[in-house]
Amino acid sequence: MRFITAAACAALLAGPAFADPSADFAQLIEEYEELRAERDVNRRASQGDLEAAAQWPDRSREAVEDWDAAMAGFHGRLQGIDSEALDSSEQASYAVLDHILGQSVALPGTVTARFPFTNDSGFHTSPSFYAMSARVRTVPEAEAYIARLNALPDSFADQRAWLEEAIEEGWTQPRYIMDGVLDQIRAQIVDDATESELYQPLANLPSTMDEAERERLRAEGLAAINDEVLPAYRDLLEFFETQYVPASRDSIGISEVPGGREFYRALVRSHTTLDLTPEEVHETGVQEVDRIRAEMDEAIAQTGFEGSFEEFVDYLRTDERFYAQTEEELMMRASYLSKLADDQMPAFFNNLPRLPYGVRPVPANIAPNYTTGRYWAGDADTGRAGGYLVNTYRLDQRPLYELPALTLHEAVPGHHHQIAIAQELEDVPEFRRRAGITAFSEGWGLYSEFLGLDMGFYQDPYENFGRLSYEMWRACRLVADTGIHYMGWSREEAESCFLDNSALSPLNVTSEVSRYISWPGQALAYKTGEILIRELRAEGEERLGADFDLAEFHDVLLEDGALPLSALENKMRAWIDERAS
């Protein structure tokens, strides 16, 4: 006999007329967060869960299908909750969760798992990045880390199964990017296991640990690398060389795979968080290219240079004064600029995060195909600072006049500030603190480059031209990404927008276009988000006049963490209306 609880009986008697949207939403969030936390082994490991620290994320077919089914179920339940009946904080949570779950349904894991890598990173480089942030301080933590090393072959086997399915379905990555991917895999195969990135957490065991234990753990770690990790990478390299690369496609646009055009339209909606078509995004890009190019011509005139745009860019690309002579010089310049930005922050923000950040070089084994800079999020809960990564490979391709804009974007007031503020939110679900909504976060990063004008950060017309060149970079992304993946453009056509309208180095252009080829749609988020943020600021300045407070505008914009752009627009227009009244 099955008994019904008193609570369930009361719920049945109450009926739908007495439904509580807030309670239903809270229950859905609790279940979603519980499943999400269970699956996020890296997060659990960082919080001290030794069982999780001994595992890699489960990418088996069963796990991915279960996740897809769970997300579809959550999304269906969410649609049945009246968001208008929720309070303002709950409505923000609803908007974020609706975006996350909606994209999980539109782009399920069983589809996206076919592309577990891009031109510069992926499942094959994630072990190195995990090792960079792993904090191994005790014997149990070290033993769990060694267990994770031993589990790498099984993790690669799960990924290989998805790649084999991708080959069968014609959903491979383009052959054009594969030489770089092969180089990344080869870079992990070292002759001496002590030189492996994965050994470093064990090499840096604390001196307070018993010496005999340190030696035992290091020996076991080296054995794991020699017996499991390196053979796994060798097998992976052989698979790529003999099976995947020969089956990779000659085309570069995702529209060339079966069902690729509809897939790209879904990617556009996902990465912009708006109901936009590829054609609309492309046209916005064309307009932005024209606008920014006019501003670049003005900046050139301010330098006093006499000559054409092409001659000016050639001058920037070839004059040694614009380039660091050593890796240390580049890192020192990036560190100096970071501190200059720190010094300006209280004038533009009332709310500053507690978490610090550092300036770090991109690891040498991935630097040749890696982007020019990136932010690596920290975690105050586990004592890990954020990281502004600077690529020191090929110094003649890393101009100093672009470094101020890059620093503002990746460090502060860009990614570190925005992400650290979100992590410190109180009384919100955990997914709000860590929501990865690219259009918001990258839109904010690009807006931060623009904010450098208010901060007086650009010291001469060359650095301002570098800022404009970076803005042109993101505008050309709208043109090139849609051109490649929807309009049948060649790589040369895509690269021409960057080479003809910016001072980006040829190496940077090649790396970036390779990234867009291998990661369709993601590059559309930056300009889309930045355009909206600048429009909202301009509207606030116009309507509020002298009463417009820029620091308050920034604080309000960031105070709820990352939001879909439609939710951000509604929120900020409501704030402007309230201040205007």
Assigned domain for 543 exists: no
Pick the closest to residue 274 from 573, 564, 578, 485 (CA basis): 564
Assigned domain for 91 exists: yes
Number of structural domains (the chain) is 3
Q: 8 pLDDT exceeds 70?
A: no
Q: 14 pLDDT exceeds 70?
A: no
Residue 16: pLDDT band by 50, 70, 90 thresholds? very low
Q: What is the pLDDT of residue 10?
A: 40
343 and 272, same domain (yes or no): yes
- Residues 455-484 have a mean pLDDT of 97
103 and 215, same domain (yes or no): no
Assigned domain for 258 exists: no
Determine contact, residues 440/563, Cβ cutoff 8 Å.
yes
Q: What is the pLDDT of residue 506?
A: 86
More confident residue, 13 or 319: 319
**Token duo for residue 316:** 């920037």
273 and 190, same domain (yes or no): no
- Residues 464-485 have a mean pLDDT of 97
340 and 422, same domain (yes or no): yes
Assigned domain for 309 exists: yes
DSSP string, 73-116: HHHHHHHTS-GGGS-HHHHHHHHHHHHHHHHHHHS-HHHHTT--
Residue 199: pLDDT band by 50, 70, 90 thresholds? very high
Residue 7: pLDDT band by 50, 70, 90 thresholds? very low
Q: 11 pLDDT exceeds 80?
A: no
Residue 108: pLDDT band by 50, 70, 90 thresholds? very high
Q: 22 pLDDT exceeds 90?
A: yes
172 and 289, same domain (yes or no): no
Pick the closest to residue 239 from 167, 312, 346 (CA basis): 167
Assigned domain for 154 exists: no
Residue 108 structural domain: 6-39+60-112
273 and 214, same domain (yes or no): no
- Residues 189-196 have a mean pLDDT of 96
**Token duo for residue 135:** 């904090």
Mean pLDDT of the chain: 94
Within 8 A by CB and 6+ apart from 458, the residues are: 404, 452, 464, 466, 467
SS3 breakdown of the chain: % helix, strand, coil, rounded to 5? 70, 5, 25
365 and 511, same domain (yes or no): yes
Q: 198 pLDDT exceeds 80?
A: yes
Q: 453 pLDDT exceeds 80?
A: yes
Give the range among 75-89, 125-139, 469-483, 536-550 with minimum mean pLDDT.
Answer: 125-139
Assigned domain for 44 exists: no
More confident residue, 2 or 409: 409
221 and 284, same domain (yes or no): no
DSSP string, 22-33: HHHHHHHHHHHH
Q: 202 pLDDT exceeds 60?
A: yes
Determine contact, residues 516/310, Cβ cutoff 8 Å.
no
- Residue where a domain stops, chosen among 530, 558, 573: 530
Determine contact, residues 421/86, Cβ cutoff 8 Å.
no
Q: 78 pLDDT exceeds 70?
A: yes
303 and 218, same domain (yes or no): no
422 and 276, same domain (yes or no): yes
pTM: 0.89
Q: What is the pLDDT of residue 133?
A: 83
Residue 379: pLDDT band by 50, 70, 90 thresholds? confident
- Give the amino acid at 180: G
**Token duo for residue 272:** 């912009």
Residue 46: pLDDT band by 50, 70, 90 thresholds? confident
Q: What is the pLDDT of residues 281-307, one digit of tens each?
A: 999 999 999 999 999 999 999 999 999
Q: 2 pLDDT exceeds 70?
A: no
Assigned domain for 567 exists: no
386 and 421, same domain (yes or no): yes
198 and 283, same domain (yes or no): no
Within 8 A by CB and 6+ apart from 113, the residues are: 59, 64, 162
Assigned domain for 203 exists: yes
Q: What is the pLDDT of residue 328?
A: 98
- Residues 385-407 have a mean pLDDT of 96
Q: What is the pLDDT of residue 366?
A: 82
Determine contact, residues 405/449, Cβ cutoff 8 Å.
yes
Q: What is the pLDDT of residues 206-255, one digit of tens each?
A: 999 999 999 999 999 999 999 999 999 999 999 999 999 999 999 999 99
Q: What is the pLDDT of residues 247-279, one digit of tens each?
A: 999 999 999 999 999 999 999 999 999 999 999
